[in-house]
Structure formats: structure tokens, C-alpha cells
Structure 1
Amino acid sequence: MNDDLEPEMDLAEQIFVLLREQPEGCSEYQLIQQLKARHSTHIPNLPLLDKLVLFRTHFLVFNALYQLRDQLWGESLYSLQISPLNVQLQPYVPGASGVAENDPLRDYYLDMSNLRDTDEQEVERLLASFWSRMRGDHLSERNETWDPEQKRAALELFELDQEASSLSLHTIKRRYRQLVSIHHPDRGGSTTRLQSINLAMEILQRYYR
């Protein structure tokens, strides 16, 4: 599973390889991490803490997913479920709904001008949405089942190594205070970025309390 992806493959082909290896599906975040781990050159090999890196990575992956969905459906091979929380190959069923003719999300991600033209405010909303999903807002109030990917994503935002022996709640809180100081709106930072930092801290407190 550690082999590099073939560099001559486009991003849709590389994603297809990864999805075939995990029929149970995976989240968008997991898919991005797998692409990075297997040295895909089609997405930025940079931490997702920068809002523009996050947006570009997310857009490129979803552009490739919608291309792949169209191709697989056209060849009667698979149906492809696409959502931030679950990307999964599913059996092709003739006569099923297939690829919707009027799909605003598909239209958005297949239009590469949106990658160039999306303004900073929209990128900020994406960032807030991403960390909200990582926090687990999709879970019910009484569901305390937290996925390890939330922990990995939060530590990446904090630029902390989850394998470090010195990692503790004390270290995390110290880094949290540093990030709050840097990104506080009173110091020219972003309210949305500060919200993301707070959400990541909430995740980490649950793991290191």
C-alpha cells in the first residue's frame, strides 16, 4: 500500500486506484492524505492549515471525482458516491438515476474558472465548514464516537507531530495560545481562522483530556 502512484496517471485515475483498494470508502480528508502519502504530484504537498492551500486541494480533488464519476457511469462500471464524509465506489445499476443532468455541485467543480475566481470570503467559509465537519457536527449530540482523522487534521492545523513523545495537552494548549495570538482579529487575523483553531482545540481536548 506504500507504492507511489504512477506519475503519468491523471488525478482521477490515481483516485480510482485508491478507491478500488478500499471498497468501504473513505472521507475526503483521508483521500487527500493518501494522495500525499503516495506522492501524487497533482495536489499541493503542503499542510492544510493555509486557507488557499485547503481550497485548491479540495477543489482539485472534487474536480477529479466528478470527472471520474462521469467516466465510470458512462462506461457502466461503477456509481461513485461523492461527499466530504464518504467517497465510495458503488455497484453500477442500469436504469438508476446515475449522473444527474442538473447538478450544481458538478457544474461548479468541473468549471476550472471557479478555482481561479473564488474570492477570499468564500475560501474562508470553506475553511470553517471543513473544520466544523472535522469537529463532528454531523454526529448527534449523544454520539461520542470520534474518528482518528479528526485528531490528525487538528494536529496538522496546529503543526504538531502526533508521533512526538513530548506531545501532551500542555504542549497543545501552549501552541493553541500561540495561534490565537497570531490569528486574533484584533491583530489583523481572521475571525473564521480563529473559529477553526477553536474547533481544532475542542477536538484535541477530547483526545488528550
Structure 2
Amino acid sequence: MTVDAFPATDLSDTLLTLLRAAPGGSSEYQLIQTLRADGNPHLSQRSLQDPLVLFRTHFLVFNALYRLRERLWREQAGHLEISPLRIRLLPYQAGSQGLSESDPLRDYYLDMNQLYATTEADVEQLLDSFWKRLDNGGDQTRDALRLFELEDEPQLDLARIRFRYRQLVSRHHPDRGGSTEHLQSINAAMEILERHYH
């Protein structure tokens, strides 16, 4: 994949259009799938099974998102909430959602040298480290299903999983007395199950 070939401004504009059409937000996975299904010229159409292609796709999307967030803030046109689990366009509110002076993730994704310098070996090492931390040696899909209390359901599809996810988020949301940690676990499990059942 030739990274120089991607005009990042256009990718930011495309992402803004997608996020405006999804008021509840979108996951990175959903955004990338939509961009690729539309044959977006900014992203390689090579298989995301290739770790380096996956890394570069992720990097370009997050680079565009962070640049878009700064542009929206500068224009007082909105605030972009960016996390691996949900990207959401919110209304602009002066003072309450200002950009942080020190944001290591922002600095990383806005530094295009990170994209150019990262090799396939670097990506493999990052992925190994990530999966070891996430999985702790177990079957992550099985653990996610157990958390959702769906491990014994014979006819399981993504619609059922999403329904259960909404139930759990509603029950365990911190605004309703739940814990932030448990909600984060539910969100992480949903990401795993979306990848497995898509």
C-alpha cells in the first residue's frame, strides 16, 4: 500500500459525512467496513488479514479523525469523541470539550512518521502484545459470550448479540448505578463478537 497516495483531507470529509449519518456514533470497525465497501480510494482494498495493511488502514482513519476533530473545534462546528470502541460527532460546546494540551494518542496519530516507519515486524509485535493482554491465554470469543450470558445459545447471530449488548449497556451504565469498568468490558466484548459474527 502506498501511503503517499491518500489525500487525508478527503478522508476526513468522508468520515464527517458518515458520522453525521450515525448520530449514535460508530465503531472504527464499522467505519472501515463502510469505507471499504464503498471502494474508498484512500484505503487499500488488499485484505485486512495482512497485519501491515490493517495497521496502515487503522492509522490513516485515526489520523483523519484527529485532524477532523481539530478542524471542527477550530470552526466551532462540533466535537469529535474518539475511542477505539466508538467515534461520535457531538455538538460544539465552548469550554467544556476543549482539546487537551497533552494527548499522546493525538500526537502519535498526527505524526505521519509513525506510519512510514512502522514495519510489518513492528505490527506483529504490537498485535501479539495486544492479544496477550486482552486474551490472557483464553478463548476471547468464548469469554465474550460468557460475559453476555449467551454461551449456551444454539442459534446465535449478530442481531441477537446486538440486542443483548443494548440490554447490558442499559443495565450496567454508570448513570444507572453500574461501573465504568464493567461497561468497558461489555464494550470490548462487543468488539470481539462483532469481528467474530460479522
TM range (shorter): 0.5 to 0.7
Q: Does 1:148 align with 2:158?
A: yes
The Cα of 1:22 is off from its aligned counterpart by 0.7
Q: Contact 2:27–2:84 at 8 Å: present in 1 too?
A: yes
Return the alpha-carbon distance in structure 2 between the equivalents of residues 42 and 81 of structure 1. 22
Query: For the structure 1 residues 37 and 74, does the alpha-carbon distance in structure 2 shift closer, same or farther, using more than 3 Å as the test?
Result: same
CA distances 1:176-195 after superposition (whole Å, capped 9, x unpaired): xxxxxxxxxxxxxxxxxxxx
For 1:42 and 1:86, locate their aligned partners in 2 and report how far apart those are by CA, in whole Å.
21
Query: Are 1:48 and 1:54, in contact at CA under 8 Å, matched by a contact in 2?
Result: yes
Secondary structure of 2:94's aligned partner: coil
Unmatched runs of 5 consecutive residues or more in structure 1: 1-6, 152-201
SS for the counterpart of 1:46 is coil
* Cα 1:75–1:45 shift into 2, 3 Å: same
Q: CA deviation at 1:148?
A: 3.5
Residue identity in the other structure for 2:123? V
Q: List runs of 5+ in structure 2 lacking aligned partners.
A: 1-6, 151-155, 162-191
1:21 aligns with 2:21: yes
Question: SS where residue 147 of structure 2 aligns?
Answer: coil
Change (3 A) 1:144 1:126: farther
CA distance in 2, matches of 1:53, 1:116: 12
Cα shift at 1:137: 10
What is the aligned partner in structure 2 of residue 77 from structure 1?
Answer: 77
Q: Are residues 1:95 and 2:95 paired?
A: yes
Aligned pairs (5 A) from 1:1-209: 10-128=10-128, 129=130, 135=140, 142-144=147-149, 148=158
Contact 1:55/1:126 (<8 A) preserved: no
For these two proteins, the number of residue pairs brought into alignment is 148
**Structure with more helix by fraction:** 2
Summarize deviations over 1:90-143 as a string: whole Å, max 9, x none.
Answer: 12111114211111111110010100112444312443548959x579969633
SS at match of 1:10: helix
Q: Distance in 1 between matches of 2:145 and 2:100?
A: 30
Change (3 A) 1:19 1:97: closer
- Asked if structure 1 preserves the Cα contact closer than 8 Å seen for 2:8 and 2:42, the reply is no
Please tell me the root mean square deviation across aligned C-alpha atoms, in Å: 3.6
Identity %: 48
C-alpha distance in 2 between matches for 1:20 and 1:126: 32
